[in-house]
């Protein structure tokens, strides 16, 4: 009786094994067919796959038999896909690419991060907050070399050869992937001496009578987007009293009493704490902007990029919006 019960079990095991082998054969058949199309013939496909020409032919014939369709036009001179074969090739190539990327993902996740990491960072944030933590990152990942480019313009990551960038504020619509690192508040600030000399604005409309400092490196730098106490969204266009393409220089100008600057807290936090600047209109709701790591799209992220982004998330975990 036990032997009779064992037979169905053994048969089930054999069926599962056969099904598993069948799936593997199916992928091999698919690869053989796609390689023949890519290489334009069985001989070159065999060289590419590292197997015999007869083995390639056998895989393709088995695939055609299983599908019940002719996928290749074979002549003595050339091999080309049929209409059905061309349609099948497009799908097969996607499946094979996905399988290759899955293998690469596992390999990359097991390998130690290494190589040159090119980063584009806004000058203000790079100097004040990224540079101080780079040493810790390089100590943790000695096989990575960092090339950090400080720039206040939006670089084209892929065409300009960057692995990633740190961007602040509203992200433009793009195919880039993004991960939020932290947030920064944004307020209008000026020196106490400025308010003593020119008075303090009481409402948004009063800003038209004040000296406003213009951030010239941003397309929207001469337009301040503010929220009134009522929740109404307002825009204030700054005059040309002073234009600077660097946030730290704008902060210095504000500290010197030259006017009112609209800056992120990661720049003015220390000056505000030390009493060098004050909030121009404290009654206004605080504006908040995100700080993001952006990087090219793909099925998997390079280990060096993933390592740096994870490091930044840890480094800025207790920062923002007003804690800097």
Q: Give 1-42 as a DSSP string.
A: -HHHHHHHHHHHHHHHHHHHHHHHHHHHHHHHHHHHHHHTSH
| Percent of the chain whose pLDDT exceeds 70 | 89
Residues 55-76 have a mean pLDDT of 92
Contact 144, 100 (CB under 8 A): no
Judge whether residue 13 has pLDDT over 90.
no
| pLDDT of 310 | 96
Contact 64, 101 (CB under 8 A): no
Q: Give CA–CA dist 231/204, Å, rounded.
A: 12
Residues 291-319 have a mean pLDDT of 91
Q: Please state the φ and ψ torsions of residue 99, each to the nearest 5 degrees.
A: -65, -40
Tokens matching residue 232:
């109404």
Judge whether residue 128 has pLDDT over 70.
yes
More confident: 81 or 217 = 81
CA dihedral 76, 80, 85, 89 (to 10 degrees): 130
Judge whether residue 5 has pLDDT over 80.
no
| Percent of the chain whose pLDDT exceeds 90 | 66
Judge whether residue 25 has pLDDT over 90.
no
CATH numbers and ranges of domains, the chain:
2-110 (1.10.10.10), 115-178+291-315 (3.40.190.10), 184-289 (3.40.190.10)
Q: Provide the mean pLDDT of the chain.
A: 87
| pLDDT of 18 | 43
Judge whether residue 6 has pLDDT over 80.
no
pLDDT tens for 94-123 read 999 888 877 777 776 667 888 999 999 999
What are the CA-CA distances from residue 39 to residues 32, 45, 52, 76, 101 (Å)? 10, 6, 15, 16, 21
pLDDT tens for 67-77 read 999 999 988 77
57 in helix, strand or coil? helix
What residues form DSSP beta bridges with 20?
none
Tokens matching residue 35:
């390689």
Confirm whether pTM is higher than 0.75: no
């Amino acid at each position: 009786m036990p032997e009779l019960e064992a037979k169905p079990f053994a048969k089930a095991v054999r069926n599962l094994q056969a099904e598993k082998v069948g799936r593997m054969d199916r992928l091999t058949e698919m690869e053989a067919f796609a390689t023949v199309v890519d290489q334009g013939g069985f001989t070159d496909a065999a060289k590419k796959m590292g197997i015999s020409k007869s083995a390639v032919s056998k895989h393709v014939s088995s695939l055609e038999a299983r599908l019940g369709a002719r996928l290749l036009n074979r002549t003595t001179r050339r091999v080309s896909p049929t209409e059905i074969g061309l349609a099948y090739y497009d799908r097969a190539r996607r499946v094979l690419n996905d399988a290759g990327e899955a293998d690469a993902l596992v390999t990359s996740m097991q390998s130690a991060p290494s190589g040159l990491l090119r980063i584009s960072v806004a000058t203000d944030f790079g100097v004040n907050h990224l540079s101080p933590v780079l040493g810790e990152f390089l100590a943790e990942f000695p096989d990575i070399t960092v090339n950090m480019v400080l720039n206040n313009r939006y670089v084209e990551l892929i065409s300009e050869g960057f692995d990633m960038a740190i961007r602040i504020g509203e992200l433009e619509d793009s195919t880039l992937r993004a991960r939020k690192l932290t947030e920064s508040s944004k307020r209008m600030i000026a020196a106490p001496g400025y308010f003593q000399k020119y008075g303090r604005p009481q409402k948004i409309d009063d800003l038209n009578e004040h000296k406003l400092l213009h951030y010239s490196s941003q397309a929207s730098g001469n337009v301040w987007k503010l929220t009134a106490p009522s929740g109404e969204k307002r825009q204030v266009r700054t005059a040309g009293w002073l234009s600077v393409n660097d946030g730290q220089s704008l902060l210095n100008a504000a500290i010197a009493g030259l006017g009112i600057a609209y800056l992120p807290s990661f720049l003015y936090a220390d000056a505000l704490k030390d009493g060098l600047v004050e909030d121009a209109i404290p009654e206004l709701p605080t504006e908040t902007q995100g700080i993001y790591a952006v990087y090219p799209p793909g099925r998997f992220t390079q280990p060096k990029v993933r390592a740096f982004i994870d490091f930044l998330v840890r480094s800025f975990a207790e920062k923002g919006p007003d804690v800097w």
